[in-house]
Chain A
């Protein structure tokens, strides 16, 4: 089945540690996105990529980094510079060839601090 796979489902980070969240899609979508969801704040855009080897900062990029070396994959690294990383992280993708296609989401990764 086509879809977006995020892993792991749950992740714990120690102080000063970098962690990487995986996002893989087999929908052949060009565009991919990372959002952070906190209680009562909706989804906020961290980074997005419209094409391989290119990505742009979203509204809350500080303390995060991404790469887009393959069309299918858009990993997100939460660095030690991100002082409040506890949140639910959602990855999404979209078919840019059709402007009426919505973003589709993965099941998310819940990150907590130890």
Chain B
């Protein structure tokens, strides 16, 4: 059965800290891995990772995929209170482009 596991389930940090969120997957016909940020309502897209070892970066956020060890990490440096959210990762299957989501990591950044 395809599955995606995220850790930790929740995390509380102070502004300025650096955090690393983990996502491991076991998916047949793996195509890519995506990260989303969900505050109150709609998940918003952060990154799509298809190739191993190539870091994607957007401001203070960065992510990388390891297709040999079947995991991805999302790093957030110099955290701000606005980074407080649930971070979801999803593995995408080839062919059907079905998304398999993890349960999410709830991040709370304290001022």
Report if A108-B103 is in contact (Cβ < 8 Å); known contacts: A42-B88, A102-B34: no
Cα of A34 to Cα of B42 in the assembled complex, Å? 13
Interface residues of A in 11-56 (CB under 8 A from B): 31, 33, 35, 40-45, 48
Which residues of the other chain, A, contact B9 by a CB distance below 8 angstroms? 40
Interface bits B74-111 vs A (CB < 8 Å: 1, else 0) = 00000000000000101000000111011110000000
28 residue pairs bridging A and B, Cβ less than 8 Å apart: A33-B99, A35-B101, A40-B103, A41-B103, A42-B88, A42-B102, A42-B103, A42-B104, A43-B43, A43-B88, A43-B90, A43-B99, A44-B101, A45-B98, A45-B99, A90-B43, A96-B97, A99-B97, A100-B48, A102-B34, A102-B45, A103-B45, A103-B99, A105-B42, A105-B43, A107-B41, A107-B42, A108-B42
- Interface of B with A (CB < 8 Å)? 4, 9, 34, 36, 41-45, 48, 50, 88, 90, 97-99, 101-104
